[in-house]
Structure 1
Amino acid sequence: MKSYSLFVSCPRGLESALNQELISLKCEQSINHDGGIALSGDLATIYRLNLHSRVASRVLIRLEHGRFRQENDIYKIARKINWTQWFGVNKKFKIHIEGKQAQINSLNFAALKVKDALCDEFRERTGIRPSVEKYQPDVRIHVFIDRNELSIYIDSSGEALFKRGYRSDTGEAPLRENLAAGLLLLAGYNGTQPFMDPFCGSGTVAIEAALIASNRAPGLNRAFGFENLNNFDADLWHKIHQAAVLDQTSPEAPISASDIDSKLIKLAQINASQANIEQYIHWQTKDVLDIRPNGANGIMISNPPYGVRLSEIQLLHALYPQLGSWLKQHFAGWLIGMFSADRSMPKLMRLSPKRKIPLFNGNLDCRLFLLDMVAGSNRQKEHKA
């Protein structure tokens, strides 16, 4: 089977978790980059990555790469691609472009050059050109410019992979699904440990935990961009998809999620139902300080609210010492993961994290604070992140 040059993108900070996934999916020749991993793979690899990766954002297939001296060179590089080999003229497309210290006056002009090359190729071979569609394209083209190097990819994922298809509404300040999964994987969660999220909001972290614990592929309920490409192998895809359906199991450890807001709990239950894992999560409307462990030596991952207004920040800073006392009193033996943009959180909780992992929630610079809870005091010297 033909091998392709691929780039699997992910949220910044989750490259190590993505690399572990690639190893588990038996991918080879991977090279780590900031924001993703480059590797080679055949169609089966492309289909498995899209279906099974919990932390990837997109699986991109590289069509062409080259250096340019002037803007017209971009057209020449894009014109080398046999675009009609990849998709039909009836498919609508969109071009997305990004640059890193790009030696070019305008990224939009560069995207226009790629579009012109694509359309000229179709017009020359078929007599007509495909249409551009900004919002729901059949085919997405990604262009990356690094200084004077140009890479052109076709997107095998379609909609970004964090869109699992289960989230009807997000509530306030939602975590993307692949970031939530990444928090769990960075903490070592594999479904064999009891799990809790006492600030569950619309339920994303708990739902991702249930997907991991039930060995449910995150892409089972959605469509992918590769289904619109000319090289789509329907029989191969059906075989890979059916294998994933059969690989599902029932969690062996309890999963609990709670929030003080009953409306959010109802929303979380709807999302869990749409993910087909609602039976695996115990939901509660409860104040965080009233929550007790659902087992021994479990893992708690939570994204506590963080205020923007001064009054909200003051309220949260008053809560943190209580949270620290609550954890020390009730959760000895547990691994606690708190994901927050508030760098002062562990110090105010009077706890010292064993790890502080830099991550981004959108553009918000955050940390995943991992704390090993021991009986009694856990006060140690605080180190700067």
Structure 2
Amino acid sequence: MSNRYFSPCPRGLETLLVEELRALGASEPEQVPGGVAFAGDWPLCWKVNLESRLATRVLWRVAHGPYRNEDDVLALARQQPWERWFAVDNTLRIHVTAIRSPLKSLNYVTLRIKDGICDRFRETRGKRPSINTERPDVRVRAFLTAETCTLYVDTSGEALTRRGFKHAKVEAPLKENLAAGILLLTGWRPGQVLFDPMCGSGTLLLEAAMMAQDIPPGIGRDFGFERLASFQPGQWKRQRAMAEQRRRRGTTVQLFGGDIDPRQIAATQANLQAAGVAEAVQCDAGDFLDRAAPAPEGVLVCNPPYGVRLDEAEALAEWYPRLGDHLKQAFSGWNCHFLTADPQMAKKIGLKASRRTPLMNGDLECRLLEYRMISGSLRKPHQD
């Protein structure tokens, strides 16, 4: 049986997600801002949850219809055969998002959807599921446009960015799926040298190591679909085992990291150790401006700091030209990429970007700037 699904992703990665879903076996992928709709059977749903590096969730579309008021949304929810999809003993949470909806209160819409589901269970099972807003067994999601309501069952549970093993208590400025998308946008592929000189807690390095060893990003966690009536434990166990068997271990370190803060290096090493890929990455503390390239050529990628306070912005405005000079002097032959929300970086670094890719990091509008450090006409001297 073919189902309809929708996978949200960070803005700017939709085209990459279409390609990834096709490679995983999805049918009819359709790109929209912020995600991709697609079709497939249940084993495909499980596979996308387990193996997608770019999707934030996999939402199973169960209903779609017009509405004019909250009672119409209640009726749409009440008409669905929820009792066939999950047990009344499962705890439940409802999430509602909207774009241009005329309804005044999304909290009230949430309540009406909950009422519709519970009314249906009372009619068919004689009791209703309990609500758990912290760790529910089943999550139902609703999306309202100006005229239509779509209901989904969330097959992922926790967001797929929760890879299942990262544990160092350091704030990570990048979600894992955005980091994976950035790596793909740089053109880096396993077998090439990669260097993140401002690695923070190591999100980019961790994603690169998992790609290099072909480790499914969801291998260390469970999923919402395991609580649905369609779940087949035996088939899932076989599917998961086949994915695990693909893992390949490299003997040569080709991933390098650095950070000026030793605490960040300790966090990176702890996270790499938790994921079982510590042997794939070499990282140490130090100032990037004092560091030589770890190889004659490769891909450099990082998410440098950006100024929030005025004093930080002024310090960065002085630092950017020094960064550009260091790249010219020490990273000739490298393809360098910087994710930044600071428009001053492109102006002050003293290099001409060969590509600027718009991306959203949460609510933050960013650019992924590419600098090909090639001697000759593509390199311009810094001008004050």
TM-based fold match above 0.5: yes
2:342 aligns with 342
- Aligned partner of residue 30 in structure 1, secondary structure: strand
2:233 aligns with 234
1:254 aligns with 254
1:379 aligns with 380
2:60 aligns with 61
Matched-pair contact (CA < 8 Å) for 1:352–1:380: no
- Aligned partner of residue 257 in structure 2, secondary structure: strand
Could you report, residue by residue, the CA deviation over 1:121-157 in whole angstroms, capped at 9, with x for unpaired residues? 1111111110111111111111000111000000000
2:181 aligns with 182
Matched-pair contact (CA < 8 Å) for 1:352–1:381: no
Matched-pair contact (CA < 8 Å) for 2:324–2:350: yes
- Aligned partner of residue 111 in structure 1, secondary structure: helix
Task: State how far apart, in whole Å, the 2-side matches of 1:210 and 1:262 are.
Answer: 21
1:99 aligns with 98
How far is 1:69 from its partner? 2.4
1:245 aligns with 244
Matched-pair contact (CA < 8 Å) for 1:13–1:360: yes
Could you report, residue by residue, the CA deviation over 1:351-373 in whole angstroms, capped at 9, with x for unpaired residues? 11111111122211111111111
How far is 1:295 from its partner? 2.3
Could you report, residue by residue, the CA deviation over 1:32-87 in whole angstroms, capped at 9, with x for unpaired residues? 01110001010111011001111110000001000112321111111221011111
1:14 aligns with 13
Change (3 A) 1:43 1:380: farther
Task: State how far apart, in whole Å, the 2-side matches of 1:166 and 1:174 are.
Answer: 17
How far is 1:381 from its partner? 11
Matched-pair contact (CA < 8 Å) for 1:340–1:366: yes
How far is 1:103 from its partner? 2.3
Task: State how far apart, in whole Å, the 1-side matches of 2:350 and 2:62 are.
Answer: 52
1:210-289 matched pairs, under 5 angstroms: 210-251=209-250, 254-289=254-289
1:122-161 matched pairs, under 5 angstroms: 122-161=121-160
How far is 1:168 from its partner? 1.5
How far is 1:380 from its partner? 8.6
Task: State how far apart, in whole Å, the 2-side matches of 1:27 and 1:290 are.
Answer: 47
Change (3 A) 1:381 1:47: farther
- Aligned partner of residue 10 in structure 2, secondary structure: coil
AA matched with 1:180 = A
How far is 1:290 from its partner? 2.2
How far is 1:170 from its partner? 4.9
Task: State how far apart, in whole Å, the 1-side matches of 2:113 and 2:40 are.
Answer: 25
AA matched with 2:148 = E
How far is 1:174 from its partner? 2.2
Could you report, residue by residue, the CA deviation over 1:282-312 in whole angstroms, capped at 9, with x for unpaired residues? 0111110122222243111100111211111
Task: State how far apart, in whole Å, the 2-side matches of 1:95 and 1:288 are.
Answer: 46
1:111 aligns with 110
How far is 1:105 from its partner? 2.4
Q: Which runs of 4+ in 1 moved over 4 A?
A: none
Identity over aligned pairs, percent: 40
Unpaired segments of 5 or more residues in structure 1? none
Task: State how far apart, in whole Å, the 2-side matches of 1:323 and 1:188 are.
Answer: 22
Task: State how far apart, in whole Å, the 1-side matches of 2:266 and 2:275 are.
Answer: 14
Unpaired segments of 5 or more residues in structure 2? none
1:38 aligns with 37
Task: State how far apart, in whole Å, the 1-side matches of 2:299 and 2:253 are.
Answer: 11
- Aligned partner of residue 58 in structure 1, secondary structure: coil
1:313-328 matched pairs, under 5 angstroms: 313-328=313-328
2:87 aligns with 88
Task: State how far apart, in whole Å, the 2-side matches of 1:170 and 1:327 are.
Answer: 31
Task: State how far apart, in whole Å, the 2-side matches of 1:169 and 1:360 are.
Answer: 24
Normalising by structure 1, what TM-score? 0.95
Matched-pair contact (CA < 8 Å) for 1:328–1:373: yes
Aligned residues: 381
Could you report, residue by residue, the CA deviation over 1:77-109 in whole angstroms, capped at 9, with x for unpaired residues? 112210111111111110000000012222222
Could you report, residue by residue, the CA deviation over 1:193-224 in whole angstroms, capped at 9, with x for unpaired residues? 10000000111111111111111111010111
Q: 1:290 aligned to 2:266?
A: no
Task: State how far apart, in whole Å, the 2-side matches of 1:324 and 1:381 are.
Answer: 8
Task: State how far apart, in whole Å, the 2-side matches of 1:20 and 1:298 are.
Answer: 24
